[in-house]
Chains A and B, each alone.
Chain A
């Protein structure tokens, strides 16, 4: 009897160098286990995360995304996370309006001291996205080749 392969979501995490990345590091040095579905991309600051990065992650097969940085007031560059928060406030509803489940893009503040929160958050994201299932909508448009698009247009 063929065993049903369980869906394991691919999660891309965009982390700020100063807080969340260090927090994730702390979780590692503290030997706190968390689900291995996450691929971490380290960036200097959440303020430097262009929403295009998130779209690109979906294009390249991510089922879910976590964006995480310093708590308000703690930004290494003073205000990067405040600016980022403004952008997320409008970008998230935009994606939702286009039919992308907002649960697939999650945001968090995790400081360098919060290894435990990192573990909790990433496990939460993985569980949520696993429950949502593969991001079929995006996978479909990723696999439709350029040649197929004209035939499928306007239908």
Chain B
């Protein structure tokens, strides 16, 4: 599979189809990989593919430094490919501006990442080239997909509050969660705006609650569950639970799953006259 990937990458660079390949390379330790940016055909051997390729490389589509390298081909797993669908829908990129090197994937991480436990995109739903044997994507029932939330939803109001307060207390406001998120592409984040200052910049319980709730909420109906925020959090806050909860509510209420169908209207940019309103007096 690696050979096929390198061959394709080399071909794309030689034919000037793209200027750069965003891919995975060897990391600091055997259990890590790292993003690599291949601009020369002779460097394609730096590309690798293994179970440690957890990163969602589409985040580099938003970074000015990598954009300067020119038109990219990106190595994406099925989950990462969903990001590209959202980015296109949200007018951040054009379909023709990115070459999608989809890889089929049976799960990443050691132990297996939670995002892989109910995977229904082993084969990307969008790609220009597919590397690896096509895997039939399975249908996974709603409950199973959000099973991770069950034990938290069962908690009492006070238990929930205490759980999250304990988690948010660890937050150091390094903003790795939003920096890594391919869908947090605002040039200036709400937390950096100070006229007025909506979110306290301090890493105290108040500032941490409003930051973490707002970060998650801004991804409502958008998050494609790549779990990068959770992976990068140096304080080990289970951020993805918040994102997943929002995804669940979006699907439950609007029958919408982010990044699955390019023809679907974005959940938060549209409405239906008969949307749920049983909580409104």
Contacts and interface: CB of A to CB of B under 8 A. Distances in A.
Interface of A: 51-52, 55-56, 59, 72-73, 79, 82-83, 85-102, 106-109, 121, 124, 137, 140-142, 144-146, 148-149, 152-155
Interface string B260-274: 000000011011110
B28 to A, nearest CB: 27
Interface residues of B, number: 51
23 contacts: A56-B210, A79-B271, A83-B268, A83-B271, A87-B268, A90-B217, A90-B246, A90-B249, A94-B242, A94-B246, A97-B241, A98-B161, A99-B162, A107-B279, A141-B206, A144-B206, A146-B202, A149-B203, A152-B169, A152-B205, A153-B169, A154-B169, A154-B170
Question: Which 4 A-B residue pairings sit nearest by Cβ, starting from the closest?
Answer: A99-B161, A99-B160, A141-B205, A82-B271
Interface stretch (B18-26, B41-49, B108-116, B150-158): B150-158
Secondary structure call for the B interface: helix
Contacts, number: 135
B190 A52 contact: yes
Contact of B206 (A79, A102, A142): A142
B280 interface: yes
Nearest to A105: B279
Nearest to B162: A99
Q: Which of B213, B241, B273 is packed against the most chain A CB atoms within 10 Å?
A: B213
Interface of B: 152-153, 157-166, 169-170, 190, 198-200, 202-206, 209-210, 213-214, 216-217, 220-221, 241-242, 245-246, 249-250, 253-254, 267-268, 270-273, 275-277, 279-281
A151 B242 CA distance: 26
Given A85-B271, A85-B275, A99-B157, 12 more contacts: A51-B214, A88-B280, A89-B276, A90-B221, A93-B245, A96-B160, A99-B165, A107-B281, A137-B165, A140-B205, A141-B204, A149-B202
